[in-house]
Amino acid sequence: MNETLKIISNRVSLRHYDKKKISTEHMNKIIESAIEAPTAGNMVMYSIIHIQDKKTMQKLAISCDSQPFIGTASDILIFVADFNKWNNYYKNEGMYLEKGRKPKNAEMLLSFEDTMVASENAVIAGESLGIGSCYIGDILENYKYHKELLNLPEYTIPLGMLTFGYYPKDYKRIKKKRFDKKFIVFDEKYKNLDEEELKTMFKSKGKEFYNRKTNSDFMKNFENAVEQWFKNWGRE
Ligand SMILES: Cc1cc2nc3c(=O)[nH]c(=O)nc-3n(C[C@H](O)[C@H](O)[C@H](O)COP(=O)(O)O)c2cc1C
């Protein structure tokens, strides 16, 4: 296996960090690697908010479903889907054909793609420097609170949050198994899995996932945020 494949294969979500602060040089490398990621039309429809203030980290540790380890990270990057900059620029330059045009849902989805593609580059760059990370999906919760905390204007959505810190010395990585490849990769066309295949794929975990994820308070809270985004973007 080459170095890149090894790094990808050894990565785990890291939730225990060495006390050492990540060096500026390493953080710059992580951020620059994120910016190197592909972006739709090279429009770079995202922004990155770099959090180092422990007080903000503590607030995020509470607002993101009370996950104390968030407050112990060395650095946090919040990847914000961002059409605000383009929208303001277009408006300033009088470029919109339709009067009062708002960014569309299509632009929102494209900005989502840009945002998450960039964030994963940051993860891999971190791993290559001995720095682990963990995505925090709960940044999508408490939309109003996060909007205020991070000073987010309309047409921005805090989509991806990553905590970063050096791997502790002798950290024992526990690799989590994925579903069997045959359930994920289909040849040429989509394959609708039958009842037996779905049972085999999800094993006994179906109920647990339903209660912990799909039917959770988080999902309800997230749904409220999503409704808000679709209301703000794309509607005249
Ligand atoms: C979109 C997304 C959101 C996540 N949110 C959280 C989170 O809020 N807290 C957490 O501890 N892990 C979070 N994770 C990490 C997953 O739990 C983890 O990736 C998964 O269990 C597989 O483990 P691995 O990353 O070690 O392979 C998130 C991962 C992704 C991709």
Which of 28, 45, 52 minimizes the C-alpha distance to 79? 45
Residues 74, 77, 78, 83: what is their CA dihedral angle, to the nearest 10 degrees? 160
pLDDT for residue 235: 58
Taking only the tens place, the pLDDT of each residue in 53-96 is: 999 999 999 999 999 999 999 999 999 999 999 999 998 998 87
Interatomic CA distance for residues 44 and 123, integer angstroms: 18
| Residue 183 domain flag | no
Which of 228, 211, 208, 229 minimizes the C-alpha distance to 219? 211
φ and ψ of 88, to 5 deg: -65, -40
The percentage of the chain sitting over the pLDDT mark of 70, rounded to a whole number, equals 98
**Span from the CA of 162 to the centroid of ligand 1 (angstroms):** 10
- Name beta bridge partners: 81: 46, 157
Sheet holding 75-82, edge to edge: 46-51, 75-82, 156-166, 131-135
| Residue 9 domain flag | yes
For the Cβ of 176 lying below 6 angstroms from any atom of ligand 1, the answer is yes
If you average pLDDT over residues 36-49, what whole number do you get?
Answer: 98
pLDDT for residue 23: 98
For 125, the token pair is 């760059």
Q: Quickly state the pLDDT bin for 220 (edges 50, 70, 90).
A: confident
More reliable by pLDDT, 210 or 136: 136
More reliable by pLDDT, 94 or 38: 38
**Span from the CA of 94 to the centroid of ligand 1 (angstroms):** 42
| Residue 33 domain flag | yes
For the Cβ of 136 lying below 6 angstroms from any atom of ligand 1, the answer is yes
Minimal-distance CA residue to ligand 1 atom 30: 135
**Span from the CA of 14 to the centroid of ligand 1 (angstroms):** 9
pLDDT for residue 207: 80
Q: Quickly state the pLDDT bin for 99 (edges 50, 70, 90).
A: confident
Q: Which of 78, 133, 134 for mutating ligand 1's site (highest number of atoms within 8 Å of CB)? A: 134
**Span from the CA of 15 to the centroid of ligand 1 (angstroms):** 10
**Span from the CA of 203 to the centroid of ligand 1 (angstroms):** 20
pLDDT for residue 96: 78
| Residue 168 domain flag | yes
Q: What is the CATH number of the domain that holds 66?
A: 3.40.109.10
**Span from the CA of 86 to the centroid of ligand 1 (angstroms):** 31
Looking at the predicted structure, is the pLDDT value of residue 204 above 80?
Answer: no
Residue 50 and residue 23 in contact, taking contact as beta carbons nearer than 8 Å: no
Looking at the predicted structure, is the pLDDT value of residue 51 above 80?
Answer: yes
Q: Which of 7, 13, 76 for mutating ligand 1's site (highest number of atoms within 8 Å of CB)? A: 13
More reliable by pLDDT, 56 or 219: 56
Q: Quickly state the pLDDT bin for 185 (edges 50, 70, 90).
A: very high
Question: What mean pLDDT value characterizes the chain?
Answer: 93
| Residue 55 domain flag | yes
Q: Does residue 20 sit in helix, strand or coil?
A: coil
Number of domains in the chain: 1
| Residue 202 domain flag | no
| Residue 211 domain flag | no
Residue 132 and residue 126 in contact, taking contact as beta carbons nearer than 8 Å: yes
Residue 54 and residue 75 in contact, taking contact as beta carbons nearer than 8 Å: no
For the Cβ of 157 lying below 6 angstroms from any atom of ligand 1, the answer is no
Nearest atom in ligand 1 to the alpha carbon of residue 139 is 8
Domain of residue 56: give its range: 3-178
| Residue 130 domain flag | yes
